[in-house]
Chains A and B, each alone.
Chain A
Amino acid sequence: MIRFNKASKRYSGGFQALENISFHLKKGEMSFLTGHSGAGKSTLLKLISAIEPPTGGQVLVNGYDLNKIRAGKIPYFRREIGIIFQDYKLLYDRTVFDNVALPLIVSGTSFRDVGSRVRAALGKVGLSGREKASPIVLSGGEQQRVSIARAIVHHPPLLLADEPTGNLDPDLARDIMNLFSEMNQLGMTTLIASHDWGLIGRMGKRILHLEEGRLQDPDQEWQR
């Protein structure tokens, strides 16, 4: 699903964010991406979601070669990924329903299907009945769950999350992590960037550890 082959990213200012990254995430696998802030976790996720192009090496995601992808193809590539952001990136002038429906709307799903799918996704994250609410009145945890509902509503084969529990209290964080592993059991390949060591350790999944732009102990179970 995701294959990095000696990939690197150097920003135009000269800052080397990622260096010589190689790993392979198989279809259906769930994995965590760890590292201190500034270690390159976000940059790695940006390379995977075609927000930034790699400056060296090769990045293959879901059958697309992201070194060569044309700008016109990127929207179609992204329709097969669900991305969850630390800052949620919700639209506050729209209802919860409209926020969650967005990935379906952009891909041209019929109105009838939109309604049932949005309600199913909101049910999955435990926000049934909040469709009409504005995200602004929701708590941080609820907003994060809205953003998760938006990421899974179109059943993407790949789910990416950048610090999804960063702003949540431990109980909520655990709920969210359980939700991710549930999604993974439904067949979504899942990659979660996080520095919540305790929580990750308990999940017993593969861990990719970044340190100053380099991957430590690739393809090895990394336990605390």
Chain B
Amino acid sequence: MNSEPRHNYRHKPEHVVSHMEVNKTRVEGRVKIYFQRHLQVLMSCLGQLYRAPISNLLTVLVIAISLSLPALLLVALDNARSLIVGWDDNAEISLFLDPSLTHSDGERVKEQLLGWRELSSARYLSAQQSLLDFKAYSGFGEVLELLDENPLPAVIVLTPRDSTPDAVAPLLERLQQLPEVDLAQLDLEWLGKIYAMMNVAERAAWVLGVLLAIAVLLIVGNTVRVSIQQRRTEIEVCKLVGGTNSFIRRPFLYMGIIQGAVGGMLAIILVSSALFLLNGPVVQLSTLYQSNFELLGMGFLFSLLLLLSSMMLGWLGSLFTVSYYIREIEPS
């Protein structure tokens, strides 16, 4: 029966074409088989997770908590930054002038400063005006009445075009150098301090994130290790019937990825609920400060990033473990 079609091939050249088609469908078939296998492994892994819920649930919870801590920190920083944006727009520099200068000297310095490209506005307040302002806003007006002469110097109030700490620092330096100026002071110096603190916090969040990512690697690795020990015979038999290492590795890698995925989703839920719980009090607080600030959520991109990195950590943790143990388990 087998020799019959072979005989036909030799005599009918059109079969050569169909032979090539057979090759093509064979390649398609291989691709199909490849995906079938992966799907099958995926399903059997899901089945296994379903059958051993407790240990897997613990793993997934540890992953979720480990990831939600740094995620929450980063979201908090994001919120803090959005709150601060806009504050530095009204940063002002006060130039306290030498008291020996006359009124017209002061005006001249102001005109001169208006020519600087770094400055968007300049306002001259004579010593007299400063005194009036101080009386009006400070509530200490009566104290000044007791003094014989006005202790306040004339002031030029400047608005820098770029008020980020990096741009303002050299500007302040230059202003301080002017002979007419006693003291140049940035009103929002504390803003720079906040920025610096936020940088520290952000760095801390990343350090924490890396440490907890390592923890995720270890916990996934450990679950996979236990699972490998339980399936020792299966691995041995697979090796005996010609399963390659990558074939044997596959279900464990899927297990890591699935645990990472579920842990990541849980982390997103945890962070979102935490933000939801915080939002009420935060809105209340900001109303007290006459602000309509509301907490920003994680955002789609950040959530996606969290999920993907969680899956990748699961995969990596599993890969390290399984690659190590797979060599150790040999049929004997």
Chain A, Cβ-Cβ closest to B30: A108
- Supposing A75-B244, A108-B30, A111-B36 touch, asked if A51 and B238 sit within 8 A by C-beta, the answer is no
A150 interface residue per 8 A CB criterion: yes
Flag if B243 contacts A75 (CB, 8 Å). yes
State which of B34, B37, B245 has its C-beta within 8 Å of the C-beta of A105: B37
CA–CA, A89 to B240, complex, Å?
Answer: 10
Residue among A51, A75, A103, A105 with the most chain B CB within 10 A? A75
Residues on B with C-beta less than 8 A from A78 are: 239-242
B229 interface residue per 8 A CB criterion: no
Residues on B with C-beta less than 8 A from A12 are: none
Count residues on chain B whose CB falls below 8 Å from chain A CBs.
23
- Supposing A51-B330, A76-B242, A106-B242 touch, asked if A89 and B33 sit within 8 A by C-beta, the answer is no
A102 interface residue per 8 A CB criterion: yes
Flag if B330 contacts A108 (CB, 8 Å). no
Which B residues have a C-beta under 8 Å from some C-beta of A? Answer: 29-30, 32-34, 36-37, 233-234, 236-245, 247, 330-332
Flag if A89 contacts B237 (CB, 8 Å). yes
CA–CA, A78 to B243, complex, Å?
Answer: 9
CB distance from B6 to the nearest CB of A (A): 19
State which of A77, A103, A109 has its C-beta within 8 Å of the C-beta of B33: A109
Interface string of A42-59 (1 = CB under 8 A from B): 000000010100000000
Flag if B29 contacts A110 (CB, 8 Å). yes
CB distance from B286 to the nearest CB of A (A): 58
State which of A49, A76, A91, A107 has its C-beta within 8 Å of the C-beta of B237: A91
CA–CA, A102 to B238, complex, Å?
Answer: 7
CA–CA, A145 to B234, complex, Å?
Answer: 19
Which A residues have a C-beta under 8 Å from some C-beta of B? Answer: 49, 51, 72, 75-79, 83, 89-91, 102-103, 105-111, 150
Chain B interface helix/strand/loop/mixed: helix
Residues on A with C-beta less than 8 A from B30 are: 108
Additional 20 contacts, C-beta under 8 A, given A91-B234, A107-B242: A49-B240, A51-B240, A72-B244, A72-B245, A75-B242, A75-B244, A76-B242, A77-B242, A79-B242, A89-B236, A90-B237, A102-B237, A102-B238, A103-B242, A106-B242, A106-B247, A108-B30, A108-B33, A110-B29, A111-B33
Q: Can you give 11 contacting A-B residue pairs, CB < 8 Å? A: A75-B239, A76-B244, A79-B241, A79-B242, A91-B233, A102-B237, A102-B238, A102-B243, A106-B241, A106-B242, A110-B32
Residues on A with C-beta less than 8 A from B245 are: 72, 75
Chain A, Cβ-Cβ closest to B330: A51
Residues on B with C-beta less than 8 A from A150 are: 241
Residues on A with C-beta less than 8 A from B33 are: 108-111
In order of increasing CB-CB distance, the 9 nearest A-B pairs are A79-B242, A106-B243, A78-B242, A103-B241, A75-B244, A75-B242, A110-B33, A102-B241, A89-B237
CB distance from A61 to the nearest CB of B (A): 14
Residues on B with C-beta less than 8 A from A76 are: 242, 244
CA–CA, A179 to B202, complex, Å?
Answer: 72
- Supposing A51-B332, A91-B233 touch, asked if A108 and B240 sit within 8 A by C-beta, the answer is no
- Supposing A79-B242, A89-B237 touch, asked if A108 and B34 sit within 8 A by C-beta, the answer is yes
Residues on B with C-beta less than 8 A from A90 are: 237
Flag if A108 contacts B37 (CB, 8 Å). yes
Residues on B with C-beta less than 8 A from A111 are: 33, 36
Flag if B331 contacts A51 (CB, 8 Å). yes
Flag if A106 contacts B244 (CB, 8 Å). yes
